Amino acid sequence: MNKEKNSGKTNNGKNPTTGGLKMPIELEKPKKKASIKKVLTSILPSEPKPYIEIDYPTNGEKLYARHYAVRIGAGWGTNVEISIDSGDFKPCRHAGYFWYDWHGISKGKHKLTAQMKTSDGKIKKSKIVNCEAI
């Protein structure tokens, strides 16, 4: 009697552990493949969250020039604007990031805040950035 490797069955198909009786072999049912949509929705957020942040100048940064290109990172919103020292909000231009060309900076401490309109019409504001022109 030749035995097949690691199967426990003889070459005549009889299982030696059942007294030589043939027993039905149960096969595992193949598992269903998950759809790409299900996989992506399980790892990605369902709704992107709007964000806005003044990247430069950084909080506490010292400015040595009288002009500065303020860089703002923002996503999932429109109408990005900036306010300097609690003044009126002014529009920013978009070129990869949002930019505000700040000219005629007076010496002293300044507070910058950015805002944008989210898709549901709400206004989202950034954290205040404090900087000082030397």
Summarize the confidence of residues 19-32 as an average pLDDT.
64
Q: What pLDDT band is residue 43 in, cutting at 50, 70 and 90?
A: low
Better-scored residue on pLDDT, 36 or 125:
125
Name the CATH superfamily, with its identifier, for domain 51-133: Immunoglobulins (2.60.40.10)
Summarize the confidence of residues 9-17 as an average pLDDT.
54
pTM over cut 0.75? no
For residue range 44-63, what is the model confidence (pLDDT) as tens digits? 666 789 999 999 999 999 99
Residue 4's pLDDT is: 46
Q: What are 3's two structure tokens?
A: 């035995």
> d(Cα 68, Cα 103) in Å, to the nearest integer?
7
The ranges assigned to domains in the chain are 51-133
Q: Which residues pair with 89 in a beta bridge?
A: none
Summarize the confidence of residues 109-128 as an average pLDDT.
97
Nearest to 43 by CA among 34, 30, 33: 34
Q: Which residues pair with 67 in a beta bridge?
A: 103
pLDDT at 37 over 60: yes
The count of other CB atoms within 10 Å of the CB of residue 52 is 23
